[in-house]
Amino acid sequence: MHPAIPRLLELQAIDQRIATVRAELDSFPKRLREAEGKLNGARAALVTAKEAHSNNLKERKKAELDVAQWKERARKYRDQSGAVKTNEAYKALQHEISNAEAEMTKAEDRQLDMMMSGEEFERRVKTAEAVLKEAEQSVAKERQEIEALQGEKKKELDAALTERESTIAPLAEDVRDLYARIAKRHHGTALAQAREGQCRGCGMRVLPHTIQQLLDDANEELYRCESCGLILYSLEPMKASAQPHDSGSAASSASS
């Protein structure tokens, strides 16, 4: 095995961890926005409830004014009725008076309706306020949790980056470059295990000679899969290959 392989495997594991942590960190702004978004419904409900309440108040105020207006008119007609000369004019005024009084009664009914329904609108505003307050508290708690987790992930990332530096430091420049180039092309994977005569990265056959080289401690070369280009390594014991180390003793025993 090439002496750099264990370190490259370690580096690859660190890089994959870094990628995972970075992806998680990237998701935090969205998670915070989603948490905030939970308040939108409660806020909108409160606005609607307040609008309904204020409309009710306006209607009530209008009914009050109507009552006062019709009352005033009826009073004026009654004042005039004492001064009329003809029976017809008197009748006409009586008619106006009863009409004004009928309108006043209608306005009073409306006013009463508004007062009664007003309590319901007020109650709905209070309920909507309570719901929003509760939602705000729960979102604040959720935000705290998200931010705490975010802090942890940042620490995790920093630790992994430090670990990466010390892991990569002893590697030769050309080995680093090769690793970086392959990892970039293969979404963070630069190494593939050669097992049972196959590259586990792509499934293509690896030549027995190459396997032997991978297992040779004296080997100073990095071998790459001819098909996918990943750096090959083998964890298999010698027996899987042609047993090159035993060949010497086998030869000597055969000669004796």
Residues lying near Zn ion in the complex (CB under 5 A) are found at 199, 201-202, 225, 227-228
- Residue 113: enclosing H or E segment and its boundaries? helix 87-168
Q: How many whole angstroms separate alpha carbon 131 and alpha carbon 109?
A: 33
**Is 97 or 201 the residue whose CB approaches Zn ion more closely?**
201
**Is 118 or 229 the residue whose CB approaches Zn ion more closely?**
229
Instruction: Residue 111: count other Cβ atoms within 10 Å of its Cβ.
Output: 19
CB of 229 to Zn ion, least distance (A): 7
Instruction: Residue 30: count other Cβ atoms within 10 Å of its Cβ.
Output: 9
**Is 45 or 225 the residue whose CB approaches Zn ion more closely?**
225
Residue 236 phi, psi (nearest 5): -75, 145
Q: How many whole angstroms separate alpha carbon 46 and alpha carbon 132?
A: 8
CB of 3 to Zn ion, least distance (A): 22
CB of 228 to Zn ion, least distance (A): 3
CB of 182 to Zn ion, least distance (A): 11
**Contacts for 120 with CB less than 8 Å, ≥ 6 apart:** none
Q: Are 164 and 18 in contact (CB under 8 A)?
A: yes
Sequence letter at residue 147: E
Q: In what order do the strands lie in the sheet with 231-233?
A: 198-199, 191-195, 231-233
**Is 121 or 201 the residue whose CB approaches Zn ion more closely?**
201
**Is 46 or 211 the residue whose CB approaches Zn ion more closely?**
211
CB of 12 to Zn ion, least distance (A): 15
**Is 207 or 250 the residue whose CB approaches Zn ion more closely?**
207
CB of 189 to Zn ion, least distance (A): 11
